[in-house]
């Protein structure tokens, strides 16, 4: 996540080079060229007249925007949950065991509890014979005692009788029920689980920061904890803004678009570990809009809004600005250059605004929101792992912009990975995004990746 | 998952070699030797007398037991769910779009909708000037029309006026509001998203078998689907059997053990994708026990029971046998040799019994239950991915038994992986299991892995 870009680049609108012959960068590849985002400086492009280029003081890099968000998201207070509800969360306390595990000396396998000195002479050829005095299995109530020269048949987990200091494995004996022949001499202590061998009282069983999975739940239950302090799932409210939007169940009229973002972003937020709530499409009435936003700020740890935020005259932006310091900025990335962030309301709840175009919304979620949610969960690893992959096609990118392109990554038969970028750089393709299993990341200082060249790939594993 | 074992091996009890000097296999390693499971044939062991070795007709390999389970678990019928509840499941229908995506021709970026022929002569040095007739943004109601020689300012997503066939990017112009100077000549069709470019009506948007994640939810919503047919989460009832067991909130008396398995196995089943319900400790009264098992068979797709099932006189086994063909077998694996499987009740619901010792229970879950749950979910990949890793310690294993040992796997600085096996082969260590991030798998035909040798490692990623 180094910042090698050229933050001074002023071309804040990222463009596609789909067809214009005079605008295409030269290529000798027989594969299609992916001009992922923008008019490259090497292409035969008209330089926009100076007058047409507005001042963009809010232009910033992906890293700067991400840093601001990560520095500002709060760490929700730990809460106590039943152990099964703690699954997938991080432990937020040092769980000290009040118990010994195991709680008592017990047989580690099926066999015979004896005194080691009584079988010390046993060999495969010359067995030692002992009288068997009863049998105990796991769960039998109360301790027993063993006199010298005797053996007690024990099942795995059975309490060791007082006096016995070793368990002879059943397969080393003749399995006798009245008298038993022992063909081996284990050292004192063998095949015995001593009280406290696993966990001794007063020691820490589960540490702060440990992810709680089935094995931790097993251990917590064993030390008698049915509840545990954890880092809670952040409550994320998901809303969308746009007068063109209609609900998923409506039949859109010409010019209208179905609100897909509250569904997709709520799913993505859950996948990242949040407790996500889909509110839906924001009202267009100012008073009602203010009410909705205020109530969401009261009940959320993070508010996520998708919308196409106009440069001026946008009602949602106006209302947000009334609720606290909210800034919209051109971020040097493609897709989705316009990103918003602020901490609003009395509790300074973080509000992240992402572009309304659905592909740009999910890419922006990956880049800015998922790390923020993971930070709120207390995770140490905020970012998806990336791998280097061989690009199956030539890529062209704009200097100073970080490009995110969907692709299909697969293992190369000779080792390593190959990635096939999907599509032609138009970001608004949902069907293509649904076929992808990764994002290709082209850094700000890279303007071209040759066919066969290495690119950074971020596999989009669900839940990963 | 090849079957290289020696199924004929008769030592059905897996043993540890913890201390007995005469029993330790020879070692020159300065690191501790992990005798992971059993008395190796090379160790100076007493051969058990023939009379002590019972006939074990039910002895079978891991692969055979797994094959029986996978062949027998049913495929639950698809159900229709709201798209957000379908997250993480597999699509069970060919979702045909009744709509075109996008629904109308629209601007792919901010700029000016024009007729391509009107700007064909534009160059960076000699711009073409057009009169601007209004501005449309995304969501503006109703179509507009554009006469020759004019331009219409458009925002990204705005409907293209009739007559226009290209969008000139704003940065190629002077941004004029009354008249605009155009400095480039895009080909007809450039920067226009045509209706149906993404999805055309009548085509399949999401195919049967596709895992439904945020991108698929985005696409489903866009084609107007608020519900979708999916493979449902199998309902798994989790119970434990054992007279020594007490509930997690009780203070165990000597000889008693806390029921940790229903918690740990329910968590593991949820992690594998099931809808898991923790019932708790089975009653010891025969009539009540039968009632509980019968009611769980009625409401479950799979019943999972952890317990130490004795060879004879076990009430739970007796009652299970009354409900249908249920068999307990010695499986050539360590830990957890005794495994049970059957299809019980009127609906022949699969019932899997795993050992009651908590580490063996979770290992058995990994080996047998997780693949069964994934099969019921319709997943193609039933098994966790494995990697080859360098073992940091020498391992000894019994011929004919497959060993599962917890370990910590990490990346090697020079590439590849290194695994550090945890502990000394006693399987009953919960604290150790909670520190592990992988299982080391030693195949049936391997009796020794040298320090620095390669072993198969199964990383235990949550949710993976």
In angstroms, the CA A60 to CA A401 distance is: 10
Each residue of A147-204: pLDDT tens digit? Answer: 999 999 998 888 899 999 999 998 899 999 999 999 988 888 888 989 998 899 999 9
Which residues of chain A are within 8 Å of residue B242 when distances are taken between CB atoms? 138-139
In angstroms, the CA A228 to CA A87 distance is: 10
Highest mean pLDDT among A132-136, A346-350, B158-162, B422-426: A346-350
In angstroms, the CA A125 to CA A455 distance is: 68
Predicted local confidence at residue A396, as pLDDT? 87
Predicted local confidence at residue B335, as pLDDT? 87
- Residue B346 to chain A, least CA–CA distance (Å): 31
The shortest CB-CB distance from A222 to any of B11, B155, B430 is to B430
Predicted local confidence at residue B115, as pLDDT? 95
The shortest CB-CB distance from A260 to any of B14, B218, B426 is to B218
Half-sphere exposure of B415 (CA within 13 A, CB side): 2
Closest chain B residue by Cα to residue A46: B124
Each residue of B194-221: pLDDT tens digit? Answer: 999 889 999 999 999 999 999 999 999 9
Q: Name the band, by pLDDT with cuts 50, 70 and 90, for residue A415.
A: confident
Predicted local confidence at residue A263, as pLDDT? 97
Tokens of A58: 């809010």
How far the first Cα of chain B sits from its last, in Å, is 19
Highest mean pLDDT among A107-111, A232-236, A391-395: A232-236
The shortest CB-CB distance from B189 to any of A19, A52, A220 is to A19
Predicted local confidence at residue A32, as pLDDT? 40
How many residues are given for chain A?
464
Please, what is the average pLDDT of chain A?
A: 85
In angstroms, the CA A34 to CA A30 distance is: 12
Q: What is the mean pLDDT of residues A70-97?
A: 95
A219 vs B83: CB contact, 8 Å cut-off?
A: no
In angstroms, the CA A329 to CA A337 distance is: 8
Which of A431, A435, A437, A439 is most worth mutating to test chain B (most B CB atoms within 10 A of its CB)? Answer: A431
Which of B205, B229, B184 lies closest to B90, judged by CA?
A: B229
Beta bridge partners of B280: B239
Predicted local confidence at residue A297, as pLDDT? 97
In angstroms, the CA B256 to CA A158 distance is: 10
Which of B344, B384, B364, B341 lies closest to B427, judged by CA?
A: B364
Closest chain B residue by Cα to residue A355: B156
The shortest CB-CB distance from B433 to any of A173, A215, A431 is to A215
Tokens of A157: 């987990």
Closest chain B residue by Cα to residue A242: B139
| Residue A204 near residue A96 (C-beta atoms within 8 A) | yes
Please indicate whether residue A337 or residue B227 has the higher confidence score (pLDDT): B227
Each residue of A17-72: pLDDT tens digit? Answer: 222 323 333 333 333 444 443 433 334 444 433 333 344 456 899 999 999 999 99
| Residue B138 near residue B153 (C-beta atoms within 8 A) | no
Percent of chain A with pLDDT over 70: 84
Predicted local confidence at residue A38, as pLDDT? 40
Give the CA radius of gyration of chain B.
32
Strand ranges (DSSP E) for A54-163? 79-82, 95-96, 106-107, 111-114, 128-136, 150-154
- Residue A19 to chain B, least CA–CA distance (Å): 6
Q: What is the mean pLDDT of residues A79-105?
A: 94
In angstroms, the CA B430 to CA B155 distance is: 61
Q: What is the mean pLDDT of residues A440-453?
A: 94
Q: What is the mean pLDDT of residues A126-136?
A: 92
Beta bridge partners of B329: B339
B197 vs A429: CB contact, 8 Å cut-off?
A: yes
- Residue A346 to chain B, least CA–CA distance (Å): 31
The shortest CB-CB distance from B174 to any of A49, A211, A248 is to A49
| Residue A340 near residue A328 (C-beta atoms within 8 A) | yes
- Residue A116 to chain B, least CA–CA distance (Å): 11
Closest chain B residue by Cα to residue A262: B218
Q: Name the band, by pLDDT with cuts 50, 70 and 90, for residue A141.
A: low
The shortest CB-CB distance from A139 to any of B39, B52, B242 is to B242
Q: Name the band, by pLDDT with cuts 50, 70 and 90, for residue A253.
A: confident
A-B contacts at Cβ under 8 angstroms: 384
Which of B23, B43, B181, B222 is most worth mutating to test chain A (most A CB atoms within 10 A of its CB)? Answer: B222
Q: For residue A387, give the H/E element and its range.
A: strand A387-391
In angstroms, the CA B448 to CA B35 distance is: 9
Q: Calculate the alpha carbon distances from B404 to A375, B252, B440 in Å.
A: 34, 30, 6
B173 vs A463: CB contact, 8 Å cut-off?
A: no
A48 vs B432: CB contact, 8 Å cut-off?
A: no
> What domains can you pick out in chain B, each with its CATH number?
34-56+384-459 (2.40.340.10), 62-76+233-377 (3.40.980.10), 79-98+201-230 (3.90.105.10), 106-193 (2.170.190.11)
Q: For residue B261, give the H/E element and its range.
A: helix B261-271
Judge if ipTM > 0.85: no
Residues of chain B with pLDDT under 70: 1-58, 139-141, 310-312, 423-428, 462-464
B19 vs A251: CB contact, 8 Å cut-off?
A: no
């Amino acid at each position: 996540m180094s910042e090698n870009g050229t933050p001074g680049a002023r071309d804040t609108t990222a463009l596609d080079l789909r067809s214009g012959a005079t605008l295409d960068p030269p290529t000798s590849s027989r594969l299609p060229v992916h001009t992922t985002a923008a008019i490259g400086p090497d292409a035969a492009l008209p330089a926009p007249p100076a007058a047409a280029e507005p001042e963009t003081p809010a232009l910033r890099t992906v890293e700067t925007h991400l840093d601001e968000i990560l520095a500002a998201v709060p760490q929700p207070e730990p809460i106590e949950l039943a152990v099964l509800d703690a699954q997938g969360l991080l432990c937020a306390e040092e769980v000290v065991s009040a118990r010994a595990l195991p709680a008592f000396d017990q047989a580690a396998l099926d066999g015979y509890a004896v005194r080691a000195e009584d079988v010390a002479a046993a060999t495969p050829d010359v067995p030692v014979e002992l009288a068997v005095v009863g049998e105990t299995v796991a769960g039998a109530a109360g301790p027993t005692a063993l006199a010298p020269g005797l053996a007690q048949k024990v099942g795995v987990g059975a309490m060791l009788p007082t006096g016995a200091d070793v368990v002879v494995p059943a397969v080393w004996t003749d399995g006798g029920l009245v008298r038993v022949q022992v063909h081996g001499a284990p050292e004192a202590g063998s095949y015995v689980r001593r009280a406290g061998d696993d966990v001794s009282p007063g020691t820490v069983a589960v540490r702060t920061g440990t992810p709680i999975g089935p094995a931790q739940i097993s251990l917590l239950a064993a030390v008698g904890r049915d509840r545990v302090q954890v880092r809670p799932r952040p409550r994320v409210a998901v809303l969308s803004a746009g007068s063109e939007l209609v609900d998923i169940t409506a039949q859109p009229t010409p010019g209208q678009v179905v609100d897909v973002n509250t569904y997709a972003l709520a799913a993505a937020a859950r996948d990242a570990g949040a407790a996500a709530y889909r509110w839906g499409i924001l009202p267009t009435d100012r008073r009602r809009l203010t009410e909705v936003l205020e109530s969401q700020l009261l009940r959320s740890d993070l508010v996520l809004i998708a919308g196409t935020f106009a440069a001026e005259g946008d009602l949602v932006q106006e209302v947000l600005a009334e609720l606290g310091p909210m800034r919209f900025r051109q971020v040097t990335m493609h897709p989705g250059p316009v990103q918003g962030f602020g901490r609003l309301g009395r509790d300074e709840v973080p509000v992240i605004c992402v572009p309304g175009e659905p592909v740009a919304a999910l890419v922006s979620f990956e880049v800015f929101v998922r790390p923020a949610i993971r930070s709120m969960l207390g995770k140490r690893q905020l970012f998806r792992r990336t791998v280097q992959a061989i690009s199956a096609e030539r890529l062209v990118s704009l200097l100073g912009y970080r490009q995110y392109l969907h692709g299909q990554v697969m293992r190369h038969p000779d080792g390593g990975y190959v990635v096939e970028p999907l599509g032609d750089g138009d970001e608004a393709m949902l069907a293509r995004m649904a076929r992808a299993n990764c994002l290709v990341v082209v850094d700000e200082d890279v303007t071209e990746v040759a066919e066969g060249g290495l690119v950074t790939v971020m596999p989009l594993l669900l839940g990963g």
